[in-house]
Structure 1
Amino acid sequence: MTGSQRWLLLDYRDDLAERLYRAGGNPDPHRLFDDTELASCADQSPLLISAAENLSVAADFIAQPESWAGLQIDSAQPVQAVLQHLRHILVIGFDGERKGVLRYSSPRTASYFFPAVEESALPIWLGPIRRLCWHAATWRESAVQQTHWCSVENLDADQWRPLAERDGLHLGKSQTEALQHQQVEKFLFYWWQKQSRLSFDEAFVYLDEGMQHGFLSADSLSRYLEIRSIYQVAMPPITLPHGGDEVRLDYLKTSLERSATDKERHA
């Protein structure tokens, strides 16, 4: 890319700064959280470094991406403009007046968030960034050990101009749903790893089923998944009775036990 510079935004790890200086080059890192609402947590900030000044890290980022979690950024703008934009999209609004931190520097989060951004909105979220690249997997992909390179491109990057004042950004419906889906898949992944009866996709069907029945807490969903995984061939009840989660889960278990017994009796 003519006129572009390449940067690496490395996600925070306890030993990140130490590893950067040990790798040689000229780290000269910029802390993402500086000059933001997260300045008090700057010691745990992702770090932005120049790829040109840190060739060994940049090479390892491509050759051994599992060693350096983060994003590769191509932009024709100077580092301060890139930093300004990265900080602008760090704290975002959602659900009306609520605010939160968008951990887009995590390749896992990037794998959910950026593909959910509509093409027309990419110039807003990427700003001066021409190309964003990362290596990761969604939780579903991790279940089948599929990691891969992802990228998004901003065709309007060359028209970007810094503004003296910019309104805070708010998540759209598709981005909100993508981040919610990330949390659902994360919960399921950790439950799924502890069992051997179901594939991830089978477990997801049961999880969705449980949520449709109104089970929302981690404990109730875990028990729902456990019950359904034990009685896979049994016919579940169409509806569950009113009452607390324990009452409804006990009813589900009893119904599935009875269905399984009837199937064995008529086999």
Structure 2
Amino acid sequence: MSAGTLAGSHWLLLDVPSAPDATWRLQEQFAGVQAEVLFDDTELHGLGEHSPLLLDLRRAGGLVSLCHLDPQAWPGLVLISSASAEQLLAHLRRMLTVTLGLHHKALLNYYNPHTASYFFDGCDPQELSCWLGPISQVRWFGGTWADRAIGSLGWQQLTNPGLPVTALENEHSLSDRQQCQLQQCLLERHAWRWSRAIGRDYHLLWKRFQEGMGLGFTEQALLDDWLWLRLQHPDARPVPKLEGRSPREYLDQLRRAWQGGPG
């Protein structure tokens, strides 16, 4: 179903943290457009300068064109909804804070195009019906970090299945699959940043990341240390871990083995 066949108003949830200059451009080019600060009236209200902005595209026709012509300068989610502005804002604000497991709470930056590409892919039709709620359709220009590494970002589109579900709760719990998808997003972003920083192929670095995680180096500091070591010794083979050694001790064991020191 194309966006043009869906009834409802069009909105842009502008991902300000991904493009801080967008706020300035918005003020310069679309000064008359009312921008709703998503963090207002939430526990995140003190971080308003880092908040995404909800813009009514009916009042900014030129912005609609810019979103499509230069989507990376105006990142975020294009939403279609028949709900009132107040109803849509209330739902989007409920999506901000989620529960992980029994005792952990986190900010879900679903308005970021990369995060959206992982998070919504982790939803089954019932979950998607719940998370989208009054939103008929959501579109964004993005993809995975692997997609970005090879220059294959593109427009993504999801239509609300509209299944009968209960309304999204405050601090809604994430499913195991959703959590895995978000963890994958963080890991792949880390590998992408490494590839940019040292000028190495993303897929090679991701392969080395996976190898390190398979050896038990799951903490970021350890994973980074492993990667440095692995890049210095690309042809070395991991030696068996000595019994009782922690991941840090095992990494030191590998370093000594590959550098020719005593075990």
Q: Note whether the superposition's TM-score is higher than 0.5.
A: yes
* Unpaired segments ≥5 residues, structure 1: 259-267
Q: Which amino acid aligns with 2:184?
A: H
Hey, what does 2:79 align to over in structure 1?
73
Describe the superposition over 1:57-104 as per-residue Cα deviations: whole angstroms up to 9, x where unpaired: 111011100110110001122211111111111111111122111111
Q: In structure 2, what residue type is equivalent to 1:239?
A: K
CA contact 1:89–1:125 (8 Å) conserved in 2: yes
Give the whole-Å Cα distance in 1 for the aligned partners of 2:119 and 2:91: 17
> What SS does the corresponding residue of 1:99 show, helix, strand or coil?
strand
The aligned counterpart of 1:84 is: 90
Task: Evaluate the alpha carbon distance shift between residue 222 and residue 77 of structure 1 in structure 2; reply closer, same or farther with a 3 A threshold.
Answer: same
Which of 233, 236, 239 lines up with 1:234 in the alignment? Answer: 236
In structure 2, the partner of 1:191 is 194
Which residue of 124, 147, 157 maps to 2:153? 147
For residues 41 and 195 of structure 1, the distance between their equivalents in structure 2, rounded to whole angstroms, comes to: 32
Distance 1:50 1:117, change over 3 A: same
TM-score, structure 1 normalization: 0.85
Alignment gaps of 5+ in structure 2: none
Alignment of 1:198-237 (within 5 A): 199-237=201-239
Higher relative contact order (CA 8 A, sep 6+): 2
Instruction: Report Cα offsets for 1:202-244 as digits up to 9, x if no partner.
Output: 3222212212222233332222112222332333324356435
Q: Is the contact between residue 81 and residue 136 of structure 2 (CA under 8 Å) also seen in structure 1? A: yes
Contact 1:25–1:55 (8 Å) recurs in 2: no
Q: Which residue of 2 aligns with 1:174?
A: 177
- Deviation at 1:43? 3.4
Percent of pairs identical after alignment?
A: 28
The correspondence for 1:51, drawn from 52, 57, 73, is 57
User: Is residue 10 of structure 2 the alignment partner of residue 11 of structure 1?
Assistant: no
Q: CA deviation at 1:246?
A: 5.3
Larger Rg: 1
Q: Would you say the 8 A contact 1:92–1:100 is kept in 2?
A: yes
Letter in 2 for 1:185: E
Question: TM-score, length-normalised on structure 2?
Answer: 0.86
Give how far 1:44 is off: 2.7
Amino acid at match of 1:5: S
Over aligned residues, Cα RMSD in angstroms?
A: 2.5
Q: By how many angstroms is 1:177 displaced? A: 0.6
C-alpha spacing 1:41/1:222, structure 2 compared with 1 (3 Å): closer
